[in-house]
Amino acid sequence: MKKKTPKLKSASVKKAKVDDDRVPLGIDILDAGMEGGLERNSVTLLAGSAGSGKSIFSAEFLYSGATKYNESGLYICFEEKKESFFKHMLRFGWDFDKLEKEKKIVFLEYTPEQVKKMIEEGGGTVEGIMSKYGIKRLVIDSVTAYTLLFKDEVSKKEAALGLFELLRAWDVTSIVTGEFDEEDIENQRTGDVQFEADGVILMYFIKEQNIRKRAIEILKMRGTKHAKKIFPMEITTQGIEISTSGAVF
């Protein structure tokens, strides 16, 4: 009798069970490492240096929401133009133009001054968009550019707090990106913003000899038993790819 070939057990982390209190990122290993995803209606700071992958991570969060979980998304961007962003995301097979036409994604080219006005008005135009399209996921890229409007640290902290309070008042789960020097990321110095956020995810882009390596860490996640490991990370043609094994640096 021919022997059956034994099935090899997968080394990857099993998909976390999704519940109503969690919003999956769409990145299985990270979702499993935070009890299924971000806490619903929370605000998460995604901190990293230039080139660490913050925009791609944020885009995948919105794309997965629209295509896998039927949750519409809003991207508020201060620097990149919509046409450029949509073009670059096609490299990962993410057709944001199609999602925009289907009214599942809204992309706003905003200035930090407009965000400040939004807070002063208690929502304004953005709140109208949120209501019209039933937005459930929101990205602001970046909170660092916004806080530069304010001169001293106290004003910056108050500005971040005002922004986060407004986001929490909406029925939306938010990611706000923050750009910090690599030394600050390595030493977990991401300013007062991290204390106002419900969660903090750090993205590393460390130079080792003549090569840079990427990694990601869940530093903080309120109300969540989260992974303590720093995971090796790559940016592939499929988007963010995270490994549970191997040396980070």
Most confident of 7-21, 102-116, 174-188: 102-116
Tell me what pLDDT residue 42 has.
Answer: 96
User: Is residue 221 included in any domain, yes or no?
Assistant: no
User: Is residue 164 included in any domain, yes or no?
Assistant: yes
pLDDT surpassing 90 at residue 62: yes
Tell me what pLDDT residue 8 has.
Answer: 31
The answer to which of 62-71, 147-156, 190-199, 223-232 has the lowest mean pLDDT is 190-199
Most confident of 12-16, 99-103, 162-166: 99-103
Asked whether 143 and 82 are in contact (CB, 8 A), the reply is: no
pTM: 0.87
pLDDT average, residue stretch 225-231: 93
Specify the higher pLDDT residue, 12 or 118.
118
pLDDT surpassing 80 at residue 140: yes
What backbone torsions phi and psi does residue 156 show, to the nearest 5 degrees?
-65, -40
User: Is residue 30 included in any domain, yes or no?
Assistant: no
User: Is residue 24 included in any domain, yes or no?
Assistant: no
What backbone torsions phi and psi does residue 211 show, to the nearest 5 degrees?
-130, 140
Which tokens is 228 given? 């303590």
Which tokens is 119 given? 């807070």
User: Is residue 23 included in any domain, yes or no?
Assistant: no
pLDDT surpassing 70 at residue 3: no
What backbone torsions phi and psi does residue 115 show, to the nearest 5 degrees?
-70, -40
CATH number assigned to the domain comprising residue 170: 3.40.50.300
Which tokens is 68 given? 């896998």
pLDDT surpassing 50 at residue 126: yes
Q: Tell me the pLDDT band of 15, cut-offs 50, 70 and 90.
A: very low
User: Is residue 11 included in any domain, yes or no?
Assistant: no
Asked whether 222 and 38 are in contact (CB, 8 A), the reply is: no
Tell me what pLDDT residue 187 has.
Answer: 67
Residue 193, classed as helix, strand or coil, is helix
Which tokens is 145 given? 């550019």
Percent of the chain whose pLDDT exceeds 90: 61
Most confident of 11-15, 27-31, 119-123: 27-31
Q: Report how far residue 89's alpha carbon sits from residue 219's, in angstroms, rounded to the nearest whole number.
A: 27
CA distances from 171 to 2, 39, 53, 64, 203 (A): 58, 12, 27, 18, 27
Tell me what pLDDT residue 4 has.
Answer: 42
Specify the higher pLDDT residue, 245 or 90.
90
pLDDT tens track for 142-170: 888 888 888 888 888 888 888 999 999 99
| Mean pLDDT of the chain, nearest integer | 87
Asked whether 202 and 216 are in contact (CB, 8 A), the reply is: yes
User: Is residue 209 included in any domain, yes or no?
Assistant: yes
User: Is residue 45 included in any domain, yes or no?
Assistant: yes
pLDDT surpassing 60 at residue 60: yes
Its domain, for residue 81, covers 41-213
Q: Considering its fold, how many domains does the chain have in total?
A: 1
Tell me what pLDDT residue 12 has.
Answer: 37
Tell me what pLDDT residue 156 has.
Answer: 84
Q: Report how far residue 112's alpha carbon sits from residue 234's, in angstroms, rounded to the nearest whole number.
A: 30
